[in-house]
Structure 1
Amino acid sequence: MTELGVDGGARNRLAQLRQGWCTRLASLSVLLGMVVVLIMIEIARPLFLTGGNLAAIAVDATVLIVIAAGLSLVMGMRGIDLSIVAVADLSGYLAASLLLSGSSFTTAVLAALVAALLVGIINGLLAGYLGVPAIVATLAMNLLVTAAVLVLSDNGTPQQLFTAPLELVRPMLIFGSDSWGPFRLLVVVAVIVVAVIWFLSRRTVWSRRAELVNANARAADLSAAPVRATFAIGFVLSGLLAGVAGIMLTARTGLAVPGSAEPFLLEAFSAVYLGSIAAPSGRVRVLWTVVGAIFVTMLGNGLVLLGLGAEWRYVLNGMLILVALTLGLLRRRSTR
C-alpha cells in the first residue's frame, strides 16, 4: 500500500511537471508566433520597426490598451461587455460638445466620466444583481447608448475640435498631442491606468473574490463571497475605462464622431484573447492583455504600411480571435 502510494504520488508530480511544461511551451509558442509575424512585416517594410514608427504605435495603442484593460476585468470573471465602444463614443462626444459650448476642461471630462460610470452601473445591476445574461444586458445597453449618441449629435454631426477657437479646446488638444518629458501624455495616462487596474485585479480583496467567481460562481457564493457585487464592480470599472478611452480618442484625433470607437470592439476582444493564450497561466490577465493590445496595434500599423485596406484588419482580427479560442480549447483539454 505504501509503495503504491509513493508511486502514485510520484506519478502525480510527474504529471503536474509535464502539464507545467506544456503550458509554458504553449505560451512561448504564441509569443514566438507574434514575434515572427512582426519580423515578417519588418522584412517586407523596413520602416516598420524604426524609432519614429514605434513611437507612433505606442500612442495609437493607448486607446485600445485602456478599453481592453476594462474588458479584461469582466472577461476574467467569464463575463462579456458589448457596450464599451458605445460608451467610449458617448464620453468622447459629450466631452467635445461641452468644451465647444464653453464648459471648462475639468467639467467636460468629469461629465463624460460620470456618463460612462452610469452605464457601467446599469450593466452591473442588470448582469450582477438581476441575473440578466451579460451578453444580453450589454448588447441592449450598446443599442441604447448608440441611440443616445445619435440624438446628442443630431444624427451624427461631428464635433471638430481642431477648427474651434483655441481658447475653448486648448486643454483637450494639449492632452492629445503634448508630451511629459520624452513621453506623450496619452502614453503616461495609459501606463497609470494599467498600473491601477493591475493593482485592483491582483492585490485587492476584490481581485481574490473575482478569482473565486472565475473558478466557480456557485462555490464562491457558498463561501459567503459577495458574488453579485464582485461581478457588478467589473462592469462598473469596464464602463469607466471605456469612458476614459473615449476621451483619449477624442483628444488624440481632435474630432468626435459617433461610431468612431466601433473598430475597437473587435480589437479589444482580440487583445484579451491573445493575452490569455500568451499568459503562462492561460487566464485573462491585465498585463498580458496589454501585450495583446500592442501586438494588435502593431499588426494594424503594419497592414497600413503594406498598403492593405481596412477589410484586412477585420479579417486578421477575426482570425486572431478564432486562433486564440482554438489554442485555449486545446490547452484546457491538455490540462485535463
Structure 2
Amino acid sequence: MPIDAKPSFKLLATAASGIETLVKRELQDLGYNTIVDNGKVFFNGSWDDIATTNLWLRTADRIKIVYGEFKALTFSELFDQTYALPWDKLLPVDANFPVSGKSLKSKLFSVPDCQAIVKKAIAKKLQDVYHRHNQLPETGALYPIEVAIRKNQVQISIDTTGSSLFKRGYRVDKGTAPLKENMAAALILLTNWHSDKPFIDPFCGSGTIPIEAALIGQNTPPGFNRSFISEKWLYFPTEIWDRVRATAEEKIDYDIQLNIYASDIDGHMIEIAKRNAEEAGVLHQITFKQQAIKDFKTNLETGTIVTNPPYGDRLNNKDDIVGIYQTMGSVFAPLTGFSKYILTSDEQFELHFGSKATRKRKLYNGAIKVDYYQYWSKKKE
C-alpha cells in the first residue's frame, strides 16, 4: 500500500564536516527551513522535494528519509519500535532493503546485532502486511536503510540518492587524488566569484574545479546528467522526476558566455579535463592550456583564482611542494585585483607562499584535514 501522493517526510541532507553551512544555504535558497547538526542538515519535504534536492544540491553527499526516531535500550525495544513503523507504505513486497548501521555511546553497541534486528523487524512487518509466510524475494528496487544509534536514541533512515551526489556523471577519467565534485563546488561557493567575472584554476588536474564553476555559472543542476535509486521506487511517481527535470532545464542559461581559464603542467591531464568538460556539456565555457605555474600570467585585471595545488601523496618530494608554493607566491603577488583561494594540507603554506591569508577555513578533503587559504582582492572587482 503506497504512502500518500503528497506525503510529508523528515529529510536529511548529509555533508562533509565543515560544509554543512553551505548545504544549509543551498537548501534555504531553494526555499526550505533547516536545522543543522554535525555533518547533517534536516528539512521537511515531499516526493517533489526529494527529487528537487537530489537534482540541485551541489555540496551535499546524499538525501535520506528519516523514517523513524525513538529510544531503545534493549533489542526487544529496537525490534518492536522498528516493526511499528509503516514499512508497507514505502517498501513493496519485493523491496531490496540492505541494512547498515552505526552505534555510539549506547547500550546497544553491537552494530551487526542492531542491523540484524532491524532487518528482521522490517521483514516481519512486510511478511505480515503482504501475507507472505516465506522469505521475502528482495528482487526489486534498492532501498538502503541505516540504523544509527547515538546515546540510546535510534534514527532509522532510507537513502534516496544511491551513488553519492558528488558523482555527477561527467567524470570520464581522473588523475591521482582527484577532488570530489561536491568539494570543488564548495570551494567555489565559499568565494566572491560571480558568473560575470573571470575565473582561473592554474592546477586544474582533471578539471573538476573549472567544470563545477561552469555548471554554477550556467545554473546547470549538478545532478542533471545522472540517475538516483529512488527513481526506481514503486511508490515514487515517475512523473515527478520528469517534471522536476523539465523545470530545471528551463533554468539553465545555455547562452551565457563565461570567462573560465584552466591550466596544468601535465598535458595528459589537460586532455582528460577536456574530455570531462565535454561530457559535462561545458567544454565551450572553459579555456584549457598546458602550462607550468612558473609560466602563469594573465592580462586580466580582476577575477577569482580557485585552486587545489599538489600536496600530501600527490608529490613525493617535500622540496618540490615548497618550491611550487614559493613560485605561486611570486606569480600571484602582482595580481592585486584577484581574490585567491587555495586548498592545501600544508600547515606551513603561508610561510612558503610569502603572505598571510585574509582568512583560513578548516575543511576535510575526504579523510585529509585541509585548510582553505583565502586572499581577498585589494581592488574592487
- Structure number with greater Rg is 2
Structure with the largest fraction of strand: 2
In the superposition, the TM-score normalised over structure 1's length comes to: 0.23
In the superposition, the TM-score normalised over structure 2's length comes to: 0.21
The structure with higher relative contact order (CA 8 Å, sep 6+) is 1
